[in-house]
Structure 1
Amino acid sequence: MKTSKTLSTKDNLQVIYEDNHIIAVNKRAGDIVQGDKTGDKPLSDVVKDYIKDKYNKPGNVYLGTVHRLDRPTTGLVIFAKTSKVLPRLNKLFLTKDISKTYWALVKEQPPKTKDTLVNWLKKNPKNNKSAAYPKEVSQSKKAILHYEILKKLDNYFLLEINLETGRHHQIRVQLSNIGCPIKGDLKYGFDRSNKDASISLHARYIEFIHPVSNEAIKITADLPNDPTWNACL
């Protein structure tokens, strides 16, 4: 199995894994994966600049966005470097043949050491927020995640989360729904923000079979350099 190591480049871009077809980076809090109405430079453009400089590519650089992370969230983001691999990666995500594992810090102890949460989530585009319901309601989508308490810190609990579905703000709203909002997540009920405006949700691991080489790939994103995250190791 191929594993990953972090390479820091200019613009503080942390490249974790790269081959001819795929590049994976460790997203910082505040970075946006794709351009939006803010006009801020997206991570996709930073990665394009990195590829252009590293390989002295003339003209436009191809880069396909496979998935996204919320702006205040940190961790693993994968991009396709070729048009050949983009639909194959998209299919891996669609068929759930890619394993994504997240770590989250919460202040309140979850009801169980490990559990599966099943809710119906409905997005409100006006406030960019989702609500969780125990049963299906109009325009809602089923959401399933599995969590486990990995470690008890002095003031927080470290949770490991695996998703079965990929819904809008899914981890944030489902944990908040059991009384465990994520550290720093004011939108979903935490009482104060983190100093860097992040929320303590980190895309930690991704595992999949490479769609071209058929090798088993496991990529790990280093945790943010923060005292609470450092206590998790």
Structure 2
Amino acid sequence: MPNFEIMDTTQTSPNIPIIYEDNHLLVIDKPAGVLSQEDHTGDPDVLNLCKAYIKKKYNKPGNVYLGLVHRLDRPVSGVMVLAKTSKAASRLSYQIRKRTINKTYWALVEGQTPVFGEWVHFLEKDNRSNTVKAFKSQKRNAKESRLKFITVKTNDNFSIIEVDLITGRPHQIRVQFAKEGFPLWGDHKYGNPQFARGKDIALRAVKLELEHPTTKELMILKAPKPTGQPWSMFEY
């Protein structure tokens, strides 16, 4: 059961650390503030940057195939998997649908969280405003959303938590913790409106466990634990 951490970079602007690469997968450490996929802003995005990297490194003519099988919100950093073949994309998407890919995040939230917990909410997304609402009970058009967490560190005002997603809904960690009274540091949308809009938030995908789409080997893909503000208020 090999573990993979940072091995190279894409040599693009912005530069993206590479955690693992073979003929089927490209696994990166997405920087905070970079889009997963292009949008109306025209700002740099992971998909096009990584396509440029592959095209240059392997001297590929024409268009480069790269499948986006999951996303991280723009202000979120960490482990992200891209598929270099359509077969790999299909098999990874199947694992995501079957919830056999395990995703672990670190978040820094306001308040003192319980030592551990498992929460269920029902999330409803408004596509027009790109916001999500959480409800404690079933509501029409709302999707059941589950996560488990443990508290890694806490002080008088903040906590670092490790979160295992059981479901993967848009903005899930941000919305569920805000609903329970523990908004993420830096989250203008669901937390303190005094934070600047678009600012990085204290949420990082630190580990992803999946089955390799062709070898069937269990892979544990890790990004370095977060550093700098606001994480530096804790020692770990």
Instruction: Give yes or no for TM over 0.5.
Output: yes
Identity of aligned residues (%): 41
Aligned residues: 232
2:105 aligned with 1:102, yes or no? Answer: yes
Note closer, same or farther for the CA distance 1:94–1:232 as it changes in structure 2 (3 Å cut).
farther
Residue type of the alignment partner of 1:71: R
Instruction: Determine the C-alpha separation between the residues in 1 that align with 2:22 and 2:155.
Output: 37
Cα offsets for 1:164-221 (capped at 9, x unmatched): 1111211101000111000000111225427981010111100112121121211111
1:184 corresponds to which residue?
Answer: 186
Residue type of the alignment partner of 2:179: N
- Asked if 1 retains the 8 angstrom alpha-carbon contact of 2:202 and 2:230, the reply is no
Cα offsets for 1:13-52 (capped at 9, x unmatched): 1111111100111111111111112122321010011111
Residue type of the alignment partner of 1:51: I
Note closer, same or farther for the CA distance 1:153–1:177 as it changes in structure 2 (3 Å cut).
same
1:3 corresponds to which residue?
Answer: 3
Residue type of the alignment partner of 1:173: V
2:45 corresponds to which residue?
Answer: 42
1:214 to 190, 213, 216: 216
SS in 1 for 2:108: strand
Instruction: Determine the C-alpha separation between the residues in 1 that align with 2:190 and 2:183.
Output: 6
In the TM superposition, 1:20-169 aligns within 5 A as: 20-110=23-113, 112-152=114-154, 155-169=157-171
Instruction: Determine the C-alpha separation between the residues in 2 that align with 1:208 and 1:227.
Output: 30
Instruction: Determine the C-alpha separation between the residues in 2 that align with 1:31 and 1:16.
Output: 17
Deviation at 1:153, TM superposition (A): 5.1
Instruction: Determine the C-alpha separation between the residues in 2 that align with 1:62 and 1:180.
Output: 40
- Asked if 2 retains the 8 angstrom alpha-carbon contact of 1:158 and 1:232, the reply is no
- Asked if 2 retains the 8 angstrom alpha-carbon contact of 1:146 and 1:162, the reply is yes
> Normalising by structure 1, what TM-score?
0.93
Note closer, same or farther for the CA distance 1:188–1:55 as it changes in structure 2 (3 Å cut).
same
Instruction: Determine the C-alpha separation between the residues in 2 that align with 1:145 and 1:169.
Output: 12
Deviation at 1:224, TM superposition (A): 4.4
> Normalising by structure 2, what TM-score?
0.92
Instruction: Determine the C-alpha separation between the residues in 1 that align with 2:159 and 2:115.
Output: 11
Instruction: Determine the C-alpha separation between the residues in 1 that align with 2:229 and 2:197.
Output: 12
Cα offsets for 1:56-89 (capped at 9, x unmatched): 1121111000100111111111000011211000
- Asked if 1 retains the 8 angstrom alpha-carbon contact of 2:211 and 2:217, the reply is yes
- Asked if 1 retains the 8 angstrom alpha-carbon contact of 2:188 and 2:198, the reply is no
